[in-house]
Amino acid sequence: MFQVNDNYLKLPGSYLFSTIAKKVNAYSKANPDKKVIRLGIGDVTLPIAPAIIDAFHGAVDEMGKAETFRGYAPDLGYEFLRNAIAENDYKARGCDIEADEIFISDGAKCDSGNIQEIFSVDNRIAVCDPVYPVYVDTNVMAGRAGTYDARKGTWSNVIYMPCLEENDFVPELPEETPDIIYLCFPNNPTGAAVTKERLQEWVDYANRTGAAIIYDAAYEAYISQEGVPHTIYECEGARTCAIELRSFSKNAGFTGVRLGFTVIPKELKCGDVSLHSLWARRHGTKYNGAPYIVQRAGEAVYSRAGQTQIREQVAYYMNNAKYILEGLKEAGYTVSGGINAPYIWLKAPNGMTSWEFFDYLLENANVVGTPGSGFGPSGETYFRLTAFGSYENTVAAVDRIKKL
Closer by beta carbon to a copy of itself, 119 or else 185: 119
Cβ-based nearer residue to a copy of itself, 6 or 226: 6
SS3 of 128, please? Answer: strand
List the one residue from 90, 132, 202, 292 that touches a copy of itself (CB under 8 A).
Answer: 292
Asked if 4 is part of the footprint of a copy of itself (rule: CB under 8 A), the reply reads yes
Among 23, 27, 75, 205, binds a copy of itself (CB under 8 A): 75
216 bridge partner residues: 184, 245
Residue range at the interface with a copy of itself (CB under 8 A); choices 153-161, 271-279, 366-374, 378-386: 271-279
Question: Residues of 361-389 as b/e, b for ≥16 C-beta within 10 angstroms?
Answer: bbeebbbbbbbbbbbbbbbbbbbbbbbbb
CB 76 within 8 A of CB 283: yes
Question: Which distant-in-sequence residues (6+ apart) come within 8 Å of 381 by Cβ?
Answer: 347, 348, 351, 352, 353, 354, 372, 373
Beta carbon nearer to a copy of itself, 95 or 115: 115
Cα-based angle 383, 28, 388 (whole degrees, multiple of 5): 45
Among 10, 91, 196, 258, binds a copy of itself (CB under 8 A): 258
Least spacing, CB of residue 158 vs a copy of itself, in Å: 15
- Residues 295, 77 contacting (CB under 8 angstroms): yes
Chosen residue from 36, 164, 173, 270 binding a copy of itself by CB under 8 A: 270
Binding segment for a copy of itself (CB under 8 A), chosen from 79-87, 102-110, 147-155, 339-347, is: 102-110
How near is the Cβ of 88 to a copy of itself at its closest, in Å?
23
> Which sign, positive or negative, has the C-alpha torsion 379, 385, 386, 387?
negative
Site for a copy of itself in 355-394 (CB under 8 A): none
Which residues are within 8 A (CB) of 213 and not within 5 positions of it... i.e. 6 or more apart? 181, 182, 183, 202, 203, 206, 232, 238, 241, 242, 243
Alpha-carbon distance 173 to 291, whole Å? 40
Taking the C-alpha atoms of residue 26 and residue 21, their distance in angstroms, rounded to an integer, is 9
Verify binding: residue 227, a copy of itself, rule CB under 8 A.
no
Restricted to residues 142-161, the positions that interact with a copy of itself (CB under 8 A) are: 143
Single residue of 22, 25, 31, 60 touching a copy of itself by CB under 8 A: 60
Q: Of 26, 34, 50, 399, which lies in the binding site for a copy of itself, with binding defined by CB under 8 A?
A: 50
Is 332 a residue that touches a copy of itself (CB under 8 A)? Answer: no
Q: DSSP states of 294-324 as a string?
A: HHHHHHHHTSHHHHHHHHHHHHHHHHHHHHH
- Closest CB to a copy of itself among 135 and 169? 135
Say whether residue 44 binds a copy of itself (CB under 8 A). Answer: yes
Question: Is residue 252 a contact point for a copy of itself (CB under 8 A)?
Answer: no
Query: What is the greatest pairwise CA distance in the chain?
Result: 66
Per CB under 8 A, the list member of 287, 316, 355, 360 interacting with a copy of itself is 287
Task: Compute the least distance from the CB of residue 227 to a copy of itself, in Å.
Answer: 29
What is the identity of the amino acid at 81? L
Q: Specify the residue, 71 or 351, whose C-beta has the smaller distance to a copy of itself.
A: 71
Figure out which of the listed residues 22, 34, 57, 266 binds a copy of itself, where binding follows CB under 8 A. 57
322 binds a copy of itself, rule: CB under 8 A: no
- One residue of 29, 35, 65, 304 binding a copy of itself per CB under 8 A: 65
Nearer to a copy of itself, 62 or 356 (CB): 62
Q: In one letter, which amino acid is 148?
A: Y
Among 29, 151, 286, 403, binds a copy of itself (CB under 8 A): 286
Helix (H, G, I), strand (E, B) or coil at 106: coil
* Binders in 166-225 for a copy of itself, by CB under 8 A: 179-180, 209-212
Measured CA to CA, the distance from residue 261 to residue 400 in angstroms comes to 39
* 36 in Cβ contact with 366 (< 8 Å): yes
Compute the least distance from the CB of residue 38 to a copy of itself, in Å: 10
Q: Which is nearer to a copy of itself, 255 or 373 (CB)?
A: 255
Q: Which of 285, 268, 275, 277 is nearest to 120 (CA)?
A: 275
Q: Among 161-169, 255-263, 308-316, 395-403, which window interacts with a copy of itself (CB under 8 A)?
A: 255-263
Q: Is 39 in the site for a copy of itself (CB under 8 A)?
A: no
**180 within 8 A of 214, measured Cβ to Cβ:** yes
Give the Cβ contact number of residue 177 at 10 Å: 15
12 makes contact with a copy of itself (CB under 8 A): no
